Structure 1
Amino acid sequence: MSWQPELDELARRQAMAEAMGGPDKVRRQHEGGRLTVRERIGALLDPDSFHEVGAIAGRGEYGPDGKLAGFTPSNCVMGRGLVDGRPVVVVGDDFTVRGGSADATIREKPIMAERMAADLRLPLIRVIEGSGGGGSVKTIETTGRANLPGGIGGNWLYHHTGDNLARVPVVGLGLGSVAGLGAARLAATHFSVMTKETSAMFVAGPPVVNALGGQQVTKRELGGWEIQTRSGAIDHAVDSEEEAFASARRFLSYLPGNVWELPQRLPSEDDPARTDEAWLSVIPRDLRKPYRMRPIIEGLMDRGSVFEMGRHFGRSVITCLARLEGMPVAVLAGDPMVYAGSWTADACAKVVRFVDLAETFHLPVVYLMDCPGFMIGLEAEQRATIRWGVRAMAAVNQSTVPWCTVIVRNAFGVAGVVHQPASRYSVRYAWPSARWGSLPLEGGIEAAYRAEIDAAEDPAARLAGIEARLQQLRSPLRTAEAFWVEEIIDPRQTRRLLCEFGHLAERVLEPGMRAHGMRP
């Protein structure tokens, strides 16, 4: 006797699940410029690689004969698949079923996705649209009681949401309205992306804010991409869902599948000894003139390999993933176009998170330094910049990955100290344009030499003479003479030396979990 009737019933239920919330809800999703969760997973993963788990989980309606008459699938779709041939776990919200609310899902499905990623040591991609929390207001009536957040004995979803950050790469794609726990799951990632026109993220949406907060705001005003990328809650914003999928795939290409593996060197045809005459004159002699750091990064790294993260947050620091002769590295750089490269509180928070990412996934760090110090002034004090600054210092000092610093221009003050780990060897070079000290001379000479300048017959001439004398003493060559800096290099040799560092670093990388795990 064949089991074909049961297989036919299974196929019927699978077809019901794939219909999601029904034609009307699917059409509404498309009219809003958004793909369905199944379309998203199909576009994100390698073709025909998705293996769904729990496809027919949901709520069935049965007739008097005991046969299935109707079916509402869980609005969580999850399973395994491939990204560029590498296995991943993907879990997605189905907004066509109760707007992605958790009271229409089966709580074990997202928990299993998180656990699968942790125990199989696979990268995790969360496709998020909806609240994903403990339910809606209506849940009180349907269950007859109020939900205590976290329940009894804790909640495995909350545990894995944070714990996975220390184990596997986690990517979040916010592709619609994301609120509550959905917002937390999007923020608790190594890399998060929003779509500019069709997504928004907030702790609570406009109806709640308008009712309880005394404000009248739209979704865009409350949690649009401009708000969230500038605040640092979201790393990246793109114009389309297809770009979001491409960003996720590219981010994962720089990282190992988990912390027990090492980053993979890819074949590279870019000449490691490639040079550029422009590097010799890219830094202006006039200290008041800024320059653009991003073209320098693009030139030094393998062509086309630079992937910037968090561009709109902490903008005086640039953070990128890139490759040197195919070897993935984490690149920090000062941006003199923003506050002359001074480290703000936001910039320090950005450094902490980025260095933790490099430490977690064994990425050697390259720091192209141009930092005149921590940001000063009333706002800087109100933002507790020094507190964030010492957090950045701790993150750098606690890191164990190989580190190479190239001092391009400024290195001053306490922030100037935070350019290499303090207690271990790191590779360090300086360009001839480099300058350093406890404080910049500009503005400090008049205070330090006030009595001498005031007593001079020509105070302006005396000030100019003192400045000229000190500028000579400040030459990086004088510092190298005392072996207070290791090497002053021709900028045109920088790429060759960085590629050499990549090879040296690769030899000493060690897999495994780190003592200081990544936090959101």
Structure 2
Amino acid sequence: MAEDWKPEVEELQRRRALAERMGGPEKVARQHGAGRLTVRERIEALVDQGSFDEVGALAGAAEYATDGSLSSFVPANFVVGTARLDGRRVAVGGDDFTVRGGAADAGIMGKQIYAERLANELGMPLVRLIEGTGGGGSVKMLEQHGFTYVPFNPGWDLVVDNLSAVPVVSACLGPVAGLGAARAVMSHLCVLVEGAGQLFVAGPPLVKHATGEDLTKEELGGAAVHRRSGAVDVIVPSEEAAFQAIRDFLAYLPSNVDFLPPVVASTDDVARRDEGLLSLVPRDRRKPYRLRPLLNALFDTGSVFDYACYGGSAYAGLARLDGHPVGVIATDPYRGATLTAEGADAITRLVDLCETFHLPIVNLTDQAGMVIGLAGEKRGSIRRGARAITAVYQARVPVAEIIVRRVFGVGGAGITNRHRLVRRWAWPSGDWGSLPVEGGIEAAYRAEIEAADDPAAHIAAIRERLDAVRSPFRTAEKFAVEDVIDPRESRPLLCEWVKDAYRVLPKLLGRPSFGVRP
């Protein structure tokens, strides 16, 4: 008889080796043949080398011989543990598609719940690597179990609570359906790999049966669908790019809501004055300008992270000022001037993220108001715009505003909460009011114009008079805008402001004043 525990240790090693085989060589080869990594390869590629500490590797479906020895073992199709990501502790959970395609009837739901609890109670970011359904399993389970049940989402109390407690990131790395899709969008960042990942409530067979639509996975839930759907924040070309997006995003955020965002050393000169800003905005108000040069001129070099890809003309992003993380709201004039329903959703999502994790917000305002017309009304643009304004008004984090060009209508009025202290500067290109002059002259002066001998000349004369009145210097004289500045001063001023902002952030630590919604 053995006098030590060596036989059990050897059995432990054997079982771990069986778990690392996942669904077996054939299923692993099929995964690779589809151009996708296995869950263990994904974790290894994402986290710091050698830092993954797996939990529950021995969980799975086992069969035993008559003598009690293990005859076969199929691991649960969910891998969970802790690791370091750029030196910081994170919780990681991933679906194993090589075991029953990630379906829940091959899983142990307790492992998914454990991943949520691990992040929640230890206060560490959570990364979900999703591929499969992760839901209630197939209808075969009815016969296997001999009964059915009233559906519920296991561990969903933790899934919901984590949105207000720790950074949560999900990556759609293959077909993701059902509860898996719900887990994907219950996050602060949802990443989709173009060509490999798809996201849908139900897959093509069920959709065809229920609706008659005969669609491929890509047609139903691929990148082309989700660039504007609002369900996905970032679309990337590869799994490697997805892992980099996860690292980049988490680098702006604290480990949990009880800490401030991480400030990093910056080599970019805080006094940098970009000469291109002086001519960035055309004098012709009908001509657009490029947003990217503006972002690059104001924020630390290489620090801009594009968020909420579906926003259209409404830009939502993250960046740094002298190493300090901030949220960024702006308008991309080449994609439109007005706030659409989708743009409002993007702004709501960014503002809620910044409020939850204590990032000050920089608003580069060029807002021509809410979108008008039948298409906008059918999208419920005014309600969704009002939701964005509500998020802006509920946020307590410090805000700085640079008025780059337009501030008009409900959208312009609500894009910043001007009922609180906002450190605000306007460029000489600033143009504001209840309505743009160009669109309002004919309505406001209709009778006068109709009576004129030369209506066109009369309109031009009215416009000339109004152009003098609409000068931002007139507004500054009344202290209705605090400062008009040389655009080249913008970065130095913002870099000074951000230090003030970070001094007041400690009093906002802890959970947001209201629960975060996906």
TM-score (structure 2 length as normaliser):
0.98
User: Secondary structure at the residue paired with 2:461?
Assistant: helix
For residues 146 and 174 of structure 2, the distance between their equivalents in structure 1, rounded to whole angstroms, comes to 30
Give the structure 2 partner of residue 54 of structure 1: 56
Matching residue's letter, 2:312: R
Runs of at least 5 residues in structure 1 that lack an aligned partner in the other structure? none
Match of 2:346 in 1: 350
Instruction: Report what 2:128 is aligned to.
Output: 126
2:439 alignment partner in structure 1: 443
Aligned residues of 1:229 and 1:310 also touching (Cα < 8 A): no
1:513 — aligned with what? Answer: 511
Q: Note if contact 2:109-2:154 (Cα within 8 Å) is conserved in structure 1.
A: no
| Corresponding residue of 1:411 | 407
Matches of 1:426 and 1:443 in 2, distance apart?
29
2:247 counterpart SS class: helix
The number of aligned residues is 514
Q: Which amino acid aligns with 2:331?
A: G
Alignment of 1:22-421 (within 5 A): 22-150=24-152, 155-311=153-309, 313-339=310-336, 341-421=337-417
d(CA) in 2 for partners of 1:200, 1:461? 57
Measure the CA separation in 2 of the matches of 1:8 and 1:516.
51
The superposition leaves residues 364-407 of structure 1 with CA deviations (integer Å, 9 ceiling, x where unpaired) of 00010111110000111111111111111110011000000100
State the secondary structure of the residue aligned to 1:404: strand
Paired with 2:439 and 2:171, the residues of 1 have a C-alpha distance of 47
How far the C-alpha of 1:159 sits from its partner, in A, is 1.4
Contact 1:360 1:517 in 2 (8 A): no
- Deviation at residue 156 of structure 1 after TM alignment: 4.5
Secondary structure at the aligned position of 1:428 is classed as: strand
SS at match of 1:81: strand
Q: Is the 8 A contact 1:432 1:488 kept in 2?
A: yes
Distance in structure 1 (CA, Å) of the matches to 2:382 and 2:172: 33
Map 1:454-465; keep pairs closer than 5 Å.
Answer: 454-465=450-461
1:17 corresponding residue in structure 2:
19
Matches within 5 A, 1:463-482: 463-482=459-478
Q: TM-score, normalised by structure 1?
A: 0.97
AA aligned to 1:24 is E
Note the alpha carbon deviations across 1:242-294, whole angstroms, 9 max, x for none: 11111101110000000001001100010001011110111001111111112
TM-superposed deviation, 1:423 = 3.5
Query: 2: CA distance between counterparts of 1:407 and 1:450?
Result: 31
Runs of 4+ residues deviating >6 angstroms: none
What secondary structure sits across from 1:207 in the alignment?
A: helix
The secondary structure found in structure 2 opposite 1:363 is coil
The letter for the 2-side match of 1:365 is I
- Counterparts of 2:283 and 2:167, CA distance in 1: 43
CA distance in 2, matches of 1:443, 1:297: 29
Alignment deviations for residues 38-83 of structure 1 (CA, whole Å, 9 cap, x no partner) = 0001111100000000010111100010111110110010000000
Q: Counterpart of 1:329 in 2: which secondary structure?
A: strand
Instruction: Give the root-mean-square deviation of aligned CA atoms.
Output: 1.0
User: Equivalent residue for 2:420?
Assistant: 424
In structure 2, the residue matched to 1:7 is: 9
In structure 2, C-alpha distance between the alignment counterparts of 1:419 and 1:98, rounded to whole Å: 48
- For residues 166-216 of structure 1, the C-alpha deviation after alignment (integer angstroms, 9 at most, x for no partner) is 000000011111000000001111011111111111000000011111111
| 2:488 alignment partner in structure 1 | 492
What secondary structure is seen at the aligned counterpart in 1 of 2:333? coil
The farther-off stretch of 64-73 and 382-391 is 382-391
Structure 1 residues 447-466: Cα deviation after superposition (integer angstroms, max 9, x where no partner): 11111122222222221111
Q: C-alpha distance in 1, partners of 2:270/2:149?
A: 59
